[in-house]
């Protein structure tokens, strides 16, 4: 409810006079202000209070000295910067209480630069506050709108110009101009939009595990690839993987293998392939694995999953050994490895795709098939 | 003009304005260069105009200055960085002076950033100033935006400036994102990976968009050079243009001022640019620069050497974007996975699209249109140059606080894992707290803020109505004692009563003057409903009549017996001073 | 009266008095408080399996079972303490040497504690006993953990792929699910880093030698030593937590400094009477 009712619905009596004059007590119910104005009036600017430096020349001289000192400190700071720039080497360190050992050059150059700047800044502000006039000045505002004459003049000029150009009389010109102007930017937009990048084709659904490079237009033929340690590049034997351990895996042929200098590895587009081919390898007690498919696609409890989160693509590296949960550090999507990496918390929806693995005749783990679905974040056409 | 005998041609001169007097000696003596320039450009006129402009004095007006100066410092330090930074994703092996990365393969961009940090004198301090200034720029513009919002400075004629400011805010955070992703370190690269992931999920066009942005599959070689041209060319150009218009409008429209004695809607009270503001504002630039330099000397920021170069396989715990992108990252953490739907072979990832693609434009659109919504609700076409005290518009202030609460929940959610480890809490519990809090806390904050504002307004009314205790005790013939309160308004109470009273809009009467039923449109009904939402419990300022009425009983023998009216703060007390 | 007495009614006097009282109470308590009960027996001669067994029975069997076979709580799958078969002397050294064991009480995760309750001889004895039950990870040799023999750059690459996602890029620690966490690595000894990798305590996976070779482990130790010894290049590291702490600093201190500077600096006016002739009453009437 209004705290102050400005009108009373119902019986109202027209005031005998305007609201700000006094009324007589026999006039009945009158709306008015009883002789006082409707609103308070602005008391006007308060009297100016002088500052010390306005009244007292000694105070003013003191202020001048203070300003000069500040400016002087700035000069000192700048000079110190120049000296320290040459004097302090980049590998020097210095101990600062509260910070520890820090880079001496950064500290020296930064603090002297700061002194140089702050001296000027504080000096100027102090000068303004103590010595420059602090009597308030009043500037009148004018309505923002232009005068009516200006407006009419503009309208007249435009209208006349439009009429003189004959555009209103010549619709053919008007429409074709609209068409031309509307279209002229299309070549610029088309060039940029069309040439920015290639069409993805099937690239988002393929990885290096398909048999080789999987960029747009590339269609590798599947061959089993060994699972190699990332970043060392050495292959992994099934017996190396013990319960409770986690291996970070890249496919054979992606990274150089220090044990086999003759082996080929990728020279170009390495990061693009890594971004889809990263795999995480875990061994579980087979009894804990709930789905038969997960057991079949693994090898004696060793299971391999895509490491690329199905949310927005960060690597899901955090393996909690005791709970068998995989946690993505970016947005905390949590996958349960015993349930085929189903999402149990967080913003991801789809489980991590499993890579089917087996062992080759030397006992090394190899892929048995490429990923059965696209790895990483979802996309419209994913299906 | 000529005062000689009239000639026929004189008729042609009717209506001529008299020529101006010949310039005085001083005006002719304007110093060498300035005179030279003015001879060729006429610059004396606008310079004179600018120099005498009056700006009001209040600390909250400096927030925009901090933002402006921080941006300028970013431009200066950024220009320096371009002399050493190599915007290339090409592969190289590091052999600079930072030992823990010697022999490690990385991109040229990362290697050049390490070079700047460790092998260029002053490189690290310039880099740190650049990044701290970027953070301060966005902090300051955010707080500046809060100040403008809560004081209603976006009202006519400043709606354009508000919209420009909103666009500046949006571009600033994109600029920051592009900037900190340039070094191609593990942390910012993870952020780019997340960006690629959520762009990819855009319906229909996502895969084409992401391959277009990256020039192929993620990460590709194009993203670093493209971010570079966005960061040093496209966005700075737009930012500088918009901010020039922003400042220009402030000069043309004159700055708003807080209400106070002597300050009206038709004047500006303050100090002129020359000499006071030139010194104060100019000095403040050096203070901002100096403080940023001091912070950069003492506090480390973005230690890219510690993160390592970007690779899609490793990741660090505690992966967050810079603070101003936190609200989008937090949204991605809070949105639940069941919002992703698959149908007919297509996948619609609302769990990602809502947080990453919709939220950002939505927030800035809501911000940008607010002045127009308020104008629609209040039907207020007057120019406003006096600022509102936030308490005098409780619903606007409440809406603002609710908005800040919602934004803060998103932003703090992005730090949920840091909170979990620093406070020893479960990250799952923290996430759920924010999920539920997002719906519960903003309305709660609105209600609490509105109530606080209304209480403050009532307190202001009470302060005025209480009057000034004179210490004069009056005894009436009946034997009652009371203290006379002076009902004159003191000058420092002017602020409490200067604002305009408000009331909700009313629907036009159902029946027009001929007795025909009037069809009220839905829009009009909505407007009235919204207006009631804004102003139904308005607390209006004390009027002189109310003040007089509040103490009327004290003067003569009448009305003492009447119960104290609602406008009285307390019954008169004896002996209280 | 002297100057101290003259200020006895100063508003801060009561605060100072309370602080002094608290300090005094704390000091007296610290001086006279009973020391925590020492559950160990007196220092023993050479470590023996029998000594270890006795110590184990006295201190660990209540949770881990009399023969280290583990003890269920009877509450579903929950265990009071797991079976220790195969954990080896390495796990004993890690858990007890970092103060994690004996666990003070049931927790989501055993935290490392500053004070270690047992002497090194006693830990070795218990370790020998556990190792005698069945073979497990052993304590590393001095050479295996010598950081000067490791390659910090390679160690960094290994650390970032295998460790940083839990422990953070600088080893400052990170959150796991449900209140568990990967602790900060600063202040942990080289041997304990090695043993944590080989024994995989609690949530941490086991990084056996076929996963991360002993050389790889030494490289990681070298890397961790290097980054701990590195000067804080740019200044205060704010906890090495990344942009969150930097943003917090900008808001709190950055904005704080900038607002304090104009607010704090006021023009100096002489001490003349205030602007307006009469001060209104105790009611606050000038809003800010």
Mean per-residue pLDDT pooled into runs of 10, chain A (383 residues): 42 44 64 75 87 87 95 97 95 92 95 97 93 89 91 94 89 92 94 92 93 91 94 93 94 88 85 95 93 94 96 95 94 96 96 96 95 94 82
Torsion, Cα of A24, A29, A35, A36 (10° steps): 160
- Contacting residues of B for A274, CB less than 8 Å apart: 311-313
Name B302's Cβ contacts closer than 8 Å, sequence gap at least 6: B128, B131, B180, B183, C243, C246
* pLDDT for C78 beyond 90: no
- Contacting residues of B for C157, CB less than 8 Å apart: 104, 308
Q: Which two tokens stand for residue B488?
A: 């004159």
User: Which residues on neighbouring strands pair with residue B473, listed in sequence order?
Assistant: B483
Here the contacts of A160-169 (C-beta below 8 Å, separation 24 or greater) are none
Mean pLDDT of chain A: 89
Q: What is the pLDDT of residue B514?
A: 79
Name C83's Cβ contacts closer than 8 Å, sequence gap at least 6: C64, C65, C68, C69, C70
Q: What is the pLDDT of residues C200-219, one digit of tens each?
A: 998 999 999 999 999 999 99
Mutate to test the interface with C, among A247, A278, A346 (most CBs of C within 10 A): A247
- Contacting residues of A for B501, CB less than 8 Å apart: 4, 6
Distance from CA of A41 to the nearest CA of B (A): 8
- Search chain C and give the residue with CA nearest A284: C205
* Whether B462 contacts B569, CB under 8 Å: yes
A199: left (phi over 0), alpha (psi -120 to 50) or beta: beta
Q: What is the pLDDT of residue B21?
A: 54
Look at C258 and B62 and tell me if their CB atoms are within 8 Å.
Answer: yes
Query: What is the interface size between B and C, counted as CB pairs within 8 Å?
Result: 210
Q: What is d(CA C4, CA A339) in angstroms, rounded to the nearest whole number?
A: 74
Q: What is the pLDDT of residues C40-65, one digit of tens each?
A: 334 444 457 888 889 898 888 888 88
Q: What is d(CA B69, CA B72) in angstroms, rounded to the nearest whole number?
A: 5
Is B422 exposed, middle or buried (CB count within 10 Å of its CB: 0-12, 13-18, 19+)? Answer: middle
> Least CB-CB distance to C285: which of B416, B428, B492?
B492
Q: What is d(CA B409, CA B394) in angstroms, rounded to the nearest whole number?
A: 22
Query: From residue C76, how far is each of C60, C72, C79, C80 by CA, in Å?
Result: 22, 8, 8, 11
* pLDDT for C39 beyond 80: no
Residue B17: CB atoms within 10 Å: 6
Q: Which two tokens stand for residue A48?
A: 């100016």
- Search chain B and give the residue with CA nearest A95: B298
Name C32's Cβ contacts closer than 8 Å, sequence gap at least 6: none
Q: Is C166 on the interface with A (CB under 8 A)?
A: yes
Q: Is C8 on the interface with A (CB under 8 A)?
A: no
Q: Which two tokens stand for residue C239?
A: 């906890």
Look at C152 and B100 and tell me if their CB atoms are within 8 Å.
Answer: yes
Q: What is d(CA A127, CA A143) in angstroms, rounded to the nearest whole number?
A: 35
- Contacting residues of A for C157, CB less than 8 Å apart: 231
Distance from CA of B297 to the nearest CA of C (A): 6
Query: What is the interface size between A and C, counted as CB pairs within 8 Å?
Result: 112
- Contacting residues of A for B296, CB less than 8 Å apart: 106, 110
Give the residue among B180, B197, B202, B211 at the shortest CA–CA distance from B310.
Answer: B180
* Whether A109 contacts A115, CB under 8 Å: no
Name C2's Cβ contacts closer than 8 Å, sequence gap at least 6: none
- Search chain C and give the residue with CA nearest A54: C269
Per-residue DSSP letter, B273: I
* Whether A199 contacts B208, CB under 8 Å: yes
- Search chain B and give the residue with CA nearest A110: B297
> Could you give phi then psi for residue B91, rounded to 5 degrees?
-80, 140
Q: What is the pLDDT of residue B27?
A: 59
Name B254's Cβ contacts closer than 8 Å, sequence gap at least 6: A139, A141, B53, B54, B268, B385
How far, rounded to the nearest angstrom, does the alpha carbon of residue A346 sit from its chain's CA centroid? 21
Q: What is the pLDDT of residue C261?
A: 79
- Contacting residues of B for A190, CB less than 8 Å apart: none
pTM of the model: 0.87
* pLDDT for C283 beyond 50: no
Bond prior to A295 in cis (omega within 30° of 0):
no
Angle between helices B427-466 and B416-423 (to 10 degrees): 90
Mutate to test the interface with A, among C79, C166, C197, C231 (most CBs of A within 10 A): C231
Torsion, Cα of C176, C182, C184, C190 (10° steps): -160
Q: Which stretches in chain B have pLDDT values below 50? A: 1-2, 555-577
Look at A99 and C232 and tell me if their CB atoms are within 8 Å.
Answer: yes
Q: Which two tokens stand for residue C95?
A: 């858990």
Query: From residue A85, how far is each of A376, B123, B125 by CA, in Å?
Result: 49, 11, 12
For chain B, first and last CA: distance in Å? 72
- Contacting residues of A for B125, CB less than 8 Å apart: 105-106, 109-110, 113
* Whether B535 contacts B498, CB under 8 Å: no
* Whether A101 contacts A142, CB under 8 Å: no
Q: What is the pLDDT of residue B506?
A: 82
In this structure, are strands B91-93 and A93-96 parallel, antiparallel, or unpaired? unpaired
Mutate to test the interface with A, among C169, C173, C235, C258 (most CBs of A within 10 A): C235
Residue C181, classed as helix, strand or coil, is: strand
- Search chain B and give the residue with CA nearest C260: B59
Look at A314 and B193 and tell me if their CB atoms are within 8 Å.
Answer: yes
* Whether B276 contacts A136, CB under 8 Å: no
Q: Which two tokens stand for residue C6?
A: 């003259």
Q: What is d(CA B157, CA B82) in angstroms, rounded to the nearest whole number?
A: 40
Biggest CA–CA distance in chain C, Å, is 93
Q: What is the pLDDT of residue B489?
A: 82
Mean predicted confidence (pLDDT) in C96-110:
83
Mutate to test the interface with A, among C108, C197, C205, C239 (most CBs of A within 10 A): C205
- Contacting residues of B for C276, CB less than 8 Å apart: 490-492
Look at C247 and B323 and tell me if their CB atoms are within 8 Å.
Answer: yes
Exposure pattern of B301-335 as b/e (b: 16+ CB <10 Å)? bbbbbbbbbbbbbbbbbbbbbbbbbbbbbbbbbbb
Residue B381: CB atoms within 10 Å: 7
- Search chain C and give the residue with CA nearest A317: C165
Q: What is d(CA B274, CA B253) in angstroms, rounded to the nearest whole number?
A: 18
Query: From residue B270, how far is each of A62, A159, B264, B501 by CA, in Å?
Result: 26, 43, 12, 27
Q: What is d(CA A132, CA B274) in angstroms, rounded to the nearest whole number?
A: 10
Chains that touch A (3 or more CB pairs under 8 A): B, C
> Least CB-CB distance to A101: which of C157, C208, C232?
C232
How far, rounded to the nearest angstrom, does the alpha carbon of residue B215 sit from its chain's CA centroid? 36
Q: What is the pLDDT of residue B14?
A: 72
- Contacting residues of A for C165, CB less than 8 Å apart: 315, 317-318, 329
Look at C287 and B389 and tell me if their CB atoms are within 8 Å.
Answer: yes
How far, rounded to the nearest angstrom, does the alpha carbon of residue A63 sit from its chain's CA centroid? 46
Q: How confident is the model at residue C77 (pLDDT cuts 50, 70, 90)?
A: low
Look at C166 and A318 and tell me if their CB atoms are within 8 Å.
Answer: yes
Q: Chain C, 185-214: which have a CB under 8 Å from a chain A CB?
A: 200, 202-208, 210-211
Q: What is d(CA C96, CA C99) in angstroms, rounded to the nearest whole number?
A: 5
Mean pLDDT of chain C: 82
């Amino acid at each position: 409810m209004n705290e102050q009712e400005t009108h009373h619905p119902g019986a109202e009596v027209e005031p005998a006079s305007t609201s700000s004059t006094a009324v007589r007590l026999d006039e009945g119910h009158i709306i008015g202000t009883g002789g006082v104005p409707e609103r308070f009036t602005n008391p006007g600017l308060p009297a100016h209070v002088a500052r010390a430096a306005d009244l007292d020349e000694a105070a003013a001289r003191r202020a001048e000295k203070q300003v000069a000192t500040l400016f002087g400190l700035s000069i000192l700071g700048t000079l110190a910067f120049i000296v320290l720039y040459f004097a302090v080497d980049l590998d020097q360190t210095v101990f600062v209480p509260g910070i520890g050992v820090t880079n001496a050059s950064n500290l020296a150059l930064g603090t002297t630069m700061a002194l140089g700047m702050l001296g000027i800044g504080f000096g100027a502000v102090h000068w303004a506050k103590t010595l420059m006039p602090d009597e308030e000045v009043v500037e009148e505002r004018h309505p923002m709108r232009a005068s009516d004459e200006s407006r009419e003049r503009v309208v007249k000029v435009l209208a006349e110009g439009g009429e003189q150009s004959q555009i209103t009389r010549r619709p053919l010109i008007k429409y074709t101009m609209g068409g031309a102007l509307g279209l002229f930017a299309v070549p610029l937009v088309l060039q940029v939009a069309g040439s920015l990048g290639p069409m993805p084709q099937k690239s988002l659904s393929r990885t290096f595990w398909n048999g080789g490079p999987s960029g747009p237009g590339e269609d590798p033929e599947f061959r089993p690839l060994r699972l190699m340690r990332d970043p060392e590049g050495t292959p992994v034997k099934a017996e190396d993987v013990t319960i409770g351990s986690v291996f970070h895996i890249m496919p054979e042929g992606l990274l150089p293998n220090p044990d086999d200098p003759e082996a080929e590895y990728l020279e170009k587009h390495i990061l693009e392939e890594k971004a889809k081919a990263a795999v995480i390898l875990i061994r579980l007690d087979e009894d804990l694995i709930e789905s038969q498919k997960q057991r079949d696609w693994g090898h004696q409890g060793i299971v391999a999953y895509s490491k690329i989160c199905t949310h927005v693509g960060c690597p899901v590296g955090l393996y909690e050994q005791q709970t068998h949960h995989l946690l993505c550090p970016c947005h905390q999507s949590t996958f349960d490895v015993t349930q085929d990496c189903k999402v149990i918390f967080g913003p991801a929806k789809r489980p991590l795709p499993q890579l089917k693995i087996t062992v080759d005749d030397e006992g090394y783990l190899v892929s048995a098939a490429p990923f059965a679905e696209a790895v990483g974040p979802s996309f419209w056409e994913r299906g | 003009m000529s005062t000689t005998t009239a000639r026929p041609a004189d008729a042609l001169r009717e209506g001529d304005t008299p020529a101006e007097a010949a310039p005085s000696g001083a005006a002719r003596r304007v110093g060498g260069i300035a005179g030279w320039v003015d001879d060729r450009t006429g610059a004396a006129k606008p310079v004179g105009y600018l120099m005498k402009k009056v700006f009001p004095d209040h600390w909250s007006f400096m927030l925009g200055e901090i933002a402006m100066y921080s941006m300028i410092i970013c431009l200066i330090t950024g220009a320096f960085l371009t002399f050493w930074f190599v915007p290339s994703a090409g592969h190289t092996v590091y052999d600079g002076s930072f030992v823990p990365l010697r022999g490690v393969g990385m991109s040229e961009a990362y290697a050049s950033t390490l070079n700047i940090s460790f092998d260029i004198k002053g490189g690290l301090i310039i880099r740190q100033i650049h990044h701290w200034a970027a953070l301060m720029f966005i902090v300051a513009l955010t707080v500046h935006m809060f100040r403008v919002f809560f004081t209603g400075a976006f009202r006519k004629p400043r709606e354009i400036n508000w919209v420009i400011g909103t666009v500046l805010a949006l571009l600033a955070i994109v600029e920051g994102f592009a900037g900190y992703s340039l070094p191609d370190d593990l942390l910012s690269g993870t952020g780019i990976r997340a960006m690629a992931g959520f762009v990819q999920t855009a319906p229909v066009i996502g895969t084409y968009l992401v391959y277009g942005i990256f020039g192929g599959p993620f990460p590709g070689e194009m993203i670093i050079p493209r971010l570079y041209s966005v960061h040093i060319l496209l966005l700075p150009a737009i930012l500088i243009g918009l901010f020039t218009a922003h400042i220009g409008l402030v000069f043309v429209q004159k700055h708003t001022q807080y209400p106070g004695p002597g300050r009206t809607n038709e004047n500006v009270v303050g100090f002129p640019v020359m000499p006071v503001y030139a010194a104060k504002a100019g000095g403040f630039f050096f203070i901002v620069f100096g403080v940023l330099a001091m912070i950069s000397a003492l506090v480390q920021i973005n230690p890219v050497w510690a993160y390592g170069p970007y690779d899609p396989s490793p990741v660090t715990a505690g992966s967050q974007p810079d603070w101003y992108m936190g609200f989008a990252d937090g949204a991605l953490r809070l949105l639940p996975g069941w919002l992703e739907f698959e149908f007919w072979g297509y996948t619609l990832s609302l769990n990602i699209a809502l947080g990453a693609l919709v939220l950002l434009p939505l927030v800035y659109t809501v911000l940008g249109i607010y002045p127009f919504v308020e104008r629609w609700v209040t039907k207020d076409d007057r120019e406003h140059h006096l600022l509102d005290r936030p308490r005098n518009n409780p619903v606007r202030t409440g809406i603002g606080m609710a908005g800040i609460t919602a934004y803060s929940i998103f932003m703090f959610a992005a730090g949920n894992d840091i909170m979990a480890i620093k406070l020893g809490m479960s990250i799952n519990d923290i996430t759920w707290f924010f999920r539920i809090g997002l719906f519960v806390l903003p309305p709660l904050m609105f209600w609490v803020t509105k109530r606080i504002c209304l209480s403050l307004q009532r307190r202001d009314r009470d302060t005025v109505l209480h009057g000034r205790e004179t210490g004069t005790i009056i005894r009436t013939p009946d034997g009652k004692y009371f203290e006379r309160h002076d009902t004159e308004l003191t000058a420092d109470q002017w602020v409490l009563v200067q604002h305009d009273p408000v009331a909700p809009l009313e629907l036009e009467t159902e029946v027009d003057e001929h007795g025909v039923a009037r069809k009220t449109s839905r829009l009009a009904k909505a407007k009235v409903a919204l207006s009631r939402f804004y102003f139904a419990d308005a607390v209006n300022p004390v009027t002189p009549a109310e003040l007089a009425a509040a103490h009327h009983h004290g003067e003569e023998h009448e009305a003492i017996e009447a119960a104290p009216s609602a406008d009285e703060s307390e019954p008169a007390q004896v002996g209280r001073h | 009266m002297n100057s101290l007495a003259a200020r006895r009614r100063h508003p801060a006097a009561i605060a100072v008095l309370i602080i002094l009282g608290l300090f005094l109470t704390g000091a007296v308590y610290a001086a006279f408080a009973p020391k925590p009960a020492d559950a160990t027996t007196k220092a023993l001669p050479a470590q023996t399996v029998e000594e270890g067994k006795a110590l184990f029975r006295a201190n660990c069997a209540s949770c881990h079972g009399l023969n280290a076979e583990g003890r269920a709580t009877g509450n579903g799958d929950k265990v009071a303490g797991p079976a220790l078969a195969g954990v080896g002397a390495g796990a004993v050294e890690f858990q007890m040497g970092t103060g994690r064991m004996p666990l003070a009480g049931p927790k989501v995760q055993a935290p490392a504690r500053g004070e270690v309750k047992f002497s090194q001889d006693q830990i070795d004895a218990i370790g020998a006993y556990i190792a005698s039950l069945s073979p497990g990870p052993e304590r590393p040799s001095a050479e295996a953990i010598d950081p000067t023999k490791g390659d910090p750059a390679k160690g960094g690459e290994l650390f970032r792929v295998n460790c940083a996602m839990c422990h953070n890029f600088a080893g400052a620690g990170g959150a796991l699910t449900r209140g568990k966490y990967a602790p900060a690595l600063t202040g942990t000894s080289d041997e304990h880093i090695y043993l944590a990798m080989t024994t995989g305590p609690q949530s941490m996976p086991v990084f056996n030698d076929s996963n991360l070779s002993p050389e790889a482990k030494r490289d990681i130790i070298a890397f961790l030593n290097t980054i701990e010894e590195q000067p804080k290049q740019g200044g205060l590291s704010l906890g090495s937590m990344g942009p969150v702490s930097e943003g917090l600093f900008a808001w709190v201190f950055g904005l704080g400094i900038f607002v304090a500077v104009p607010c704090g600096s006021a023009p100096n006016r002489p001490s003349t009477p205030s602007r307006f002739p009469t001060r209104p009453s105790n009611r606050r009437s000038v809003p800010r």
